[in-house]
Chains A and B, each alone.
Chain A
Amino acid sequence: MSDNQQNQGGLQAGLRPEISRRDFLNEITAGALGVAGLGGAALTYQYFSPNVLFEPSTTFRAGNPDLYPVNSVTFLQDQQVYIVRTPEGFFAVSAVCTHLGCVTQWKPEADMIACPCHGSKFQPNGKKIEGPAPRPLPHYAINLSADGELVVDKLQSIKPDKVLRV
């Protein structure tokens, strides 16, 4: 009864008559909990995304260009990258299979890069010969440092027709 009287009081004051004090408190509580829940979810996501990683650097020096003979494919084990030198110049090809992330192997006798996990095959320039890999191996940005060393950036993928001339 007292609720009704209060509602009528509310009506005179221009408030919506159908909302009781209990409903109002329930709604703002649910709203506050919802906001807190969303915020909590966002904070939890941030917490679980590390800001500092103790992983190998994605940019690395691959040494002097003279280390790589013309028409050669060199596998850099630590970086999981092939440094390919053709008569035109240098390019860096990822050694990580685009199928499920296994490390591929360079087979000089067959002149191709092969994945030991599920049998994908690639040309030395990364083009796919046969699946199950869905995409060719990506090319990474390769440049010369000021002191004349090759520098590869694994975060930057470039078009496969770009070649570094030295």
Chain B
Amino acid sequence: MATSFNSALEILRTTRVWKSIFRRGPALTNRTRSLAVFGNLFLHWLPVKVREKSLRVRAAYYLGSLSLLLFILLVVTGVLLMFYYHPAAPNAYRDMKDLRFVVSNGVFLRNMHRIGAHLMVLLVFWHMFHVFYRGGYKPPHEFNWVVGVILLLITLFLSYTGYLLPWDQLAFWAVTVGTNIISAMPIIGSKVRFVALGGNIVGENALLRFYVLHVVILPLLAFLLIGIHFWRVQKDGGLTVRSKEDDRKS
């Protein structure tokens, strides 16, 4: 079975289509393996070589990768929810109820999105604490630490804007309270609140604004910064791993 699979793969590799996509032979040597990573859009921001030690679970508990995985899960479930949700005051609450009680597997998707979002906030915080206590903010990682802090803020804003979308009492009052905190800013506070809500009360305009922020602007920003964040890990010399010397010092 394995040999027939391998020989099928060999034949596939000789085809013109395969060669036009991958442009090189099998990754048998270190050089071709490196080229395989360099030449692939989805892999090029990964380090070409990784120390075995940094792949141990205890090195980072994979918290950053798990956060990315959750982000992808939230994008997929979120896009699926968008097929049934209208961001308008008369529909929003009903659509949410429909997703829970009428749409096949709707409750599963909605809860996956909801619980996944809670979990992502938790994981991102956990990731931050872990990096902080490991000293991952020290040179040469300062820039990536700042990118990480912005990603944390985006995660919180995504969580907050998504909170309004069910359009229930909890959502309404959470956003009423939150936007009143904005208006406590000196001088520009009430103007910022007016623009954020598109009015004086949490109404139709606010729902649409939060929706657009939640499904377009914030995910795109997060996507861009996640790319930079992962790429920078490689450029800053890989994952931060405590060496034996560090252990001896501490």
A residues with a Cβ closer than 8 A to B are 45, 48-50, 53-55, 100-102, 117
| A155 closest partner in B (C-beta) | B200
Q: Is the CB of B200 within 8 A of A53?
A: yes
B-chain residues with CB within 8 Å of residue A101 when the two chains form the complex: 176-177, 180
User: Looking at the complex, which one of A48, A49, A53, A117 makes contact with B177 (CB distance below 8 Å)?
Assistant: A117
Q: Is the CB of B173 within 8 A of A55?
A: no
| B178 closest partner in A (C-beta) | A100
Q: Is the CB of B180 within 8 A of A53?
A: no
Say which one of B48-56, B121-129, B201-209, B233-241 lies at the interface with A. B201-209
Cross-chain pairs A/B with CB under 8 angstroms, 25 sampled: A45-B195, A48-B195, A48-B198, A49-B194, A49-B195, A50-B198, A50-B199, A50-B205, A53-B199, A53-B200, A54-B203, A54-B204, A55-B199, A55-B200, A55-B203, A100-B176, A100-B177, A100-B180, A100-B181, A101-B176, A101-B177, A101-B180, A102-B173, A102-B176, A117-B173
Most chain-B Cβ atoms within 10 A of its Cβ — which of A45, A48, A50, A100? Answer: A100
* Sample of 4 further A-B pairs with CB below 8 A, known A45-B195, A55-B200, A100-B180: A48-B195, A55-B199, A55-B203, A102-B177
Encoded as 1 (CB less than 8 Å from any A CB) or 0, chain B from 169 to 189 comes to 000010011001100000000
B-chain residues with CB within 8 Å of residue A54 when the two chains form the complex: 203-204
Whole-angstrom distance between the Cβ of A133 and the nearest chain B Cβ: 12
- Distance of A102 Cα from B194 Cα, bound (Å): 17
- Distance of A53 Cα from B197 Cα, bound (Å): 11
- Distance of A49 Cα from B194 Cα, bound (Å): 7
- Interface of B (DSSP majority class): helix
A-chain residues with CB within 8 Å of residue B199 when the two chains form the complex: 50, 53, 55
The 6 closest A-B pairs by CB, nearest first: A101-B180, A100-B177, A100-B180, A48-B195, A101-B176, A53-B199
- Distance of A121 Cα from B194 Cα, bound (Å): 27
Whole-angstrom distance between the Cβ of B53 and the nearest chain A Cβ: 48
Whole-angstrom distance between the Cβ of A103 and the nearest chain B Cβ: 9
- Distance of A149 Cα from B21 Cα, bound (Å): 79
Given the interface pairs A101-B177, A102-B173, A102-B176, the reply to whether A55 lies near B201 with Cβ below 8 Å is: yes
Whole-angstrom distance between the Cβ of A134 and the nearest chain B Cβ: 9
| B179 closest partner in A (C-beta) | A101
